[in-house]
Every structure is written in C-alpha cells, then in structure tokens.
Amino acid sequence: MEEVSLQPKHYLTCLWPGMAELWWRGRLSALPAAIAFAGVLNALLIAKFMYVDWLSGGLVMLACWVVIAAWLVLAVRSIRELPQLLTPRLASDEPDRFAEAQVAFLRGDYPTAEDYLTACLSIEPRDPPALLMLSAVYRHTERLHASEVLLSEIRKLEVAQKWDLEFQTEEARLERDIEFRHQADGDQDPGSDSHSDSKTESESEIPNEQAGDERPAESDVDQLDQDPADPLDAAETSDRRQAA
C-alpha cells in the first residue's frame, strides 16, 4: 500500500472508536460502535466514582482494563485505515485510471472514459472530479436524465464544495442541452401535424377527381344542345322535301 502523508490533526478522530468513519466518510454503520463505546465508558465512570456500591472494586477495575484494551485495538485499527478513508485512490493497490479517463474523454471515446471513471468510483465513490466527468459523459451520450440525477447527488456531498465552479458550469451545459432537446421535440410535432394535414387534403382531393370524371364534359353538353335530335323537326324536313 502506498504511503500517504497526513496531518497530525487527522489522527485525532481515531481516538474515539467509529469517529473517523463518521467524520471523514459519513458512514452511519460506524455510529453504533461510537454510541456503544460512549455507553460503556459512562457506565464505568458512574460505577467507579458515583455508585461505588453497585459493583466490587476488583470487578470494576477488570472492566476498566478490558475497555482500555478494546480502545487500544480499535484506535490502532482506525489509524491504519485512516489513509483509505481520506485518500482511497492513493492508498489503494488498484491503479488510478482517472488520467486515462481524461484522455479518453478529450478524444471523444466516451464508452472507454465511462469504464475508467467507473473503476475510479469503485475505489472512491465520493470523488468530485470523477463524478463531474461522468456526468459530462452521460450528457454527451444523450443520457440527460442520468446526468441530472448524478449532479443532484454531487450537490449533497460536502467534499464537492471546492468544485462549485465546475459544478455550476456542468449544470449550465446540461440545462442548455435539455432546452435544445425540448426545442427539437417541439419542432418535430408541428411538422408531423402539417404532414398529416397535407395527407388528409390529398386524400380528400381523390374523391373530388373521381366525381369530376363521372360528370359529362361541357363540350359534350353543347353538342347535345346543337344536334337536331328532336323527331318532330326531322319529320317536317322530310315532308318539305317530298312536296318540292
């Protein structure tokens, strides 16, 4: 494991069992241990100095030595685990893939960048640079909802306060892309309505054309008016020829 230089004040949280995990990582799983140690310590102090008749002196002394031994074991373990709590990517035996993720992101290879960032976050789930870059990967791959959810989770992290400028920049870019998508969806809807309207008009023109084919032409009507189709006129004409 790589040696990580830490400040002396960081080790003060190791003196209380469970305090280091609660303070630096916010792990609620360490809260029962901290509460139990506080309860045992208070019970011994009460039995030793306030209600001395509860337990015999030898039993209280034996319990004190047991508590001191347990405290030493827990404190040493907390000191050894402190580098993994503060800088897990540096303290881990796994290689740090963040630089490779940056290269892949700048190259436009978003699937590879996502794989490298996932590997980084498996070691340090609370790393703001990796989380912000992963949100950008989601945004570039049209997963805007996932990017929005991830940004909302980043905002809840106390360690992300130093990256507030980068967070606001990524949030503005995401809002811009969401607005563009809404505009694109809005532009597609009127186009589809006009297409359906034109289709309806073209379909309505077809019966009109068929009805127009069934009606007689105007030239045929005029020809019928001009032809001597009346039988009385034809009989009078033949009688005049015979009389002549």
Measured CA to CA, the distance from residue 135 to residue 141 in angstroms comes to 10
Question: What pLDDT is attached to residue 92?
Answer: 74
Per-residue three-class SS string for the chain: CCCCCCCHHHHHHHHCCCHHHHHHCCCHHHHHHHHHHHHHHHHHHHHHHHCCCCCCHHHHHHHHHHHHHHHHHHHHHHHHHHHHHHCHHHHCCCCCCHHHHHHHHHHCCHHHHHHHHHHHHHHCCCCHHHHHHHHHHHHHCCCHHHHHHHHHHHHCCHHHHHHHHHHHHHHHHHHHHHHHHHHHHHHHHHHHHHHHHHHHHHHHHHHHHHHHHHCCCHHHHHHHHHCCCCHHHHHHHHHHHHHC
Per-residue model confidence as pLDDT tens digits over 189-213: 555 444 445 444 445 444 444 444 4
- Note down the domain range covering 114: 98-178
Question: In terms of domains, do 173 and 102 share one?
Answer: yes
CATH number at 107 reads: 1.25.40.10
Res. 223: pLDDT tops 80: no
Do 130 and 120 contact (CB within 8 A), yes or no?
yes
Question: In terms of domains, do 47 and 114 share one?
Answer: no
Task: Assess if residue 137 is contained within a domain.
Answer: yes
Q: pLDDT > 70: what percent of the chain?
A: 73
CB atoms within 10 A of CB 6: 13
Among 37-46, 203-212, 226-235, name the one with the lowest average pLDDT. Answer: 226-235
Question: What pLDDT is attached to residue 207?
Answer: 46
Select the more confidently predicted residue: 194 or 91.
91
Confidence tier at 26 by pLDDT (50, 70, 90): confident
Question: In terms of domains, do 35 and 78 share one?
Answer: yes
- Whole-angstrom CA distances from 131 to 11, 48, 151, 177 are 28, 51, 8, 19
Res. 46: pLDDT tops 60: yes
Q: Tokens 């809840």 appear where?
A: 156
Question: What pLDDT is attached to residue 101?
Answer: 94
Question: In terms of domains, do 73 and 110 share one?
Answer: no
The verdict on pTM exceeding 0.85 is: no
Q: Which residues are CB-contacts of 6 (< 8 A; sequence separation ≥ 6)?
A: 82, 83, 86
Res. 222: pLDDT tops 80: no
Confidence tier at 232 by pLDDT (50, 70, 90): very low
CB atoms within 10 A of CB 147: 24
Res. 158: pLDDT tops 90: no
Per-residue model confidence as pLDDT tens digits over 133-143: 999 999 999 99
| Listed residue (10, 9, 163) closest to 91, CA to CA | 10
Q: Which two tokens stand for residue 41?
A: 């310590």
Res. 3: pLDDT tops 90: no
Res. 234: pLDDT tops 70: no
Task: Assess if residue 236 is contained within a domain.
Answer: no
Question: In terms of domains, do 116 and 151 share one?
Answer: yes
Question: In terms of domains, do 80 and 127 share one?
Answer: no
Question: What pLDDT is attached to residue 220?
Answer: 45
For the stretch 206-211, contacts whose Cβ atoms lie closer than 8 Å and that sit 24 or more positions apart, written own/partner, are none
Q: Name the phi and psi angles at 53, rounded to 5.
A: -85, -10
The domain total for the chain is: 2
Question: In terms of domains, do 70 and 125 share one?
Answer: no
Mean pLDDT of the chain: 77
Question: What pLDDT is attached to residue 157?
Answer: 82
